[in-house]
Chain A
């Protein structure tokens, strides 16, 4: 990872010293985080083994790990992960493309904005996840109903952020480009789009958590496979270690994807880091 030079750093001096400081800080921060997680897990282990002492109510981390290992060994875990991933990826990809396109349309046409704004604001504020059972009724118990729910939840933050990012482009930067005789198309490509990129990425990042929720909740309402299915069938069988195994895998996926996005943001929009 390269570290950007801080704002007030004299540009003549190499940024090496500041970079090393930052690395040291990062290591300290990570250390504290790791210690915190380890302590939490230890407490959890003690609490579930000695205080609750009933795996029907609370599974210990070691039991959960055991469940993950055995589910992985039989291949069942991979089947569930595969199905959920497929639903997430298809829905998320469609929602991203559609959301950015819709945001572009709303930013470039007053009519498009007037027509779609009430729907988008309304649906964004509604807990649309409640419509998941309806989607299963309409689109069946298979993958397509989950994909639709993912689209429904991911689409709006992406659309809203894209539109807001384009709309809040600095008028001064636009004027600068105009002073060189730039066409509207050039202004869009050279100023509006790059300056909206951090907003679009933030919308996509918001979409990750919402998309994961969509997959799991939709699967809970009716499915043949997937992590939501794993969770609901484990709950029905009072198999707490397997239930937690499903939750942990989801959490890991969410954390990994969000971290990946953080990396992507540092690469694509480093100017927003200061």
Chain B
């Protein structure tokens, strides 16, 4: 297997705090990988390092064999808070990537309009963020990341601010969109069922220091529908991952309370 994205011996320290220790990872093209773990396990930091928003202390991140150190058009980042520009329309927000790259031409505009249609925002191109619901804003967030046609999609808990029903809809929507382009995806989440539902592989992170505790291959057939969540196989995966992180989660909850 030639890896699309490879991470080797990655360490990250914030002064005295060891955020990430010795992370190794190889992601195949078109693979959907989720990162789960308790608060403070460094999974978001890991994603930010791959995005080039944060430098690693040591180790290497490569995409197609080339080392990355800063953000670039080969990666698209979907943020936890949608981070939409309130003064721009939906289309204007989605076009920001091509614009920054100096490629905001008619072709990019057409492609972005197609993407907005793909994420279910046809007819809302001229709306402003304040006129949209949370779910719709996250759709813009996703379209914005896709608009630079990235090879890797980095998603940082994109559905965590949504209510439970909207989240489930967005999960199936994301799979539908992913099936059409088969981009490589790294998806950070707190929700174990979300990780199992979406992924080919789930990386289970442990904390203090942040590290990959175990990798769980999810051998569930695709395309997946919400009905899958009620099958015993699905529940077994969720249970297994929950048992892996239970102690860590309890520890982090107590710490946050104290």
Contacts and interface: CB of A to CB of B under 8 A. Distances in A.
B96 A190 contact: yes
Contacts of A9: 131
Interface string B58-79: 0000000000001111010101
A42 to B, nearest CB: 43
A271 B88 CA distance: 9
21 contacts: A4-B130, A4-B131, A7-B131, A11-B124, A11-B131, A11-B133, A11-B136, A178-B53, A179-B51, A179-B52, A179-B71, A179-B77, A180-B148, A181-B72, A181-B101, A186-B100, A190-B99, A191-B85, A269-B87, A271-B129, A274-B130
A182 B52 CA distance: 12
Interface residues of A, number: 27
B130 A177 contact: no
Interface in A224-274: 269-271, 274
A132 B102 CA distance: 51
A178 B124 contact: no
B100 A271 contact: no
Nearest to B136: A11
A5 B77 contact: no
Interface of B: 51-53, 70-73, 75, 77, 79, 81, 83, 85-87, 96-97, 99-101, 124, 127-133, 136, 148
A191 B75 CA distance: 21
Contact of A179 (B53, B85, B129, B136): B53
Interface residues of A, dominant DSSP: helix
Given A180-B101, A181-B72, A271-B87, 18 more contacts: A5-B130, A7-B130, A11-B133, A170-B83, A172-B81, A173-B83, A173-B85, A176-B77, A176-B79, A179-B75, A180-B71, A181-B100, A190-B85, A191-B85, A197-B87, A269-B87, A270-B87, A271-B129
A97 B86 CA distance: 26
A180 B97 contact: yes
B85 to A, nearest CB: 7
Interface in A156-186: 170, 172-173, 175-182, 186
Contacts of A173: 83, 85
A182 B133 CA distance: 28
Contacts of A190: 85, 96, 99-100
A9 B136 CA distance: 13
Contacts of A269: 87
A142 interface: no
A180 B86 contact: no
A24 B101 CA distance: 46
Residue from B73, B96, B100, B101 whose CB has the most chain A CB atoms within 10 Å: B100
B83 A176 contact: yes
A45 B70 CA distance: 73
Given A178-B53, A194-B85, A269-B87, A11 B71 contact: no
Lowest 10 CB-CB distances: which A-B pairs, in order? A271-B86, A176-B83, A179-B77, A180-B100, A182-B100, A181-B71, A180-B97, A5-B131, A179-B71, A194-B87
Interface in A177-236: 177-182, 186, 190-191, 194-195, 197
Nearest to A175: B53
A269 B100 CA distance: 22
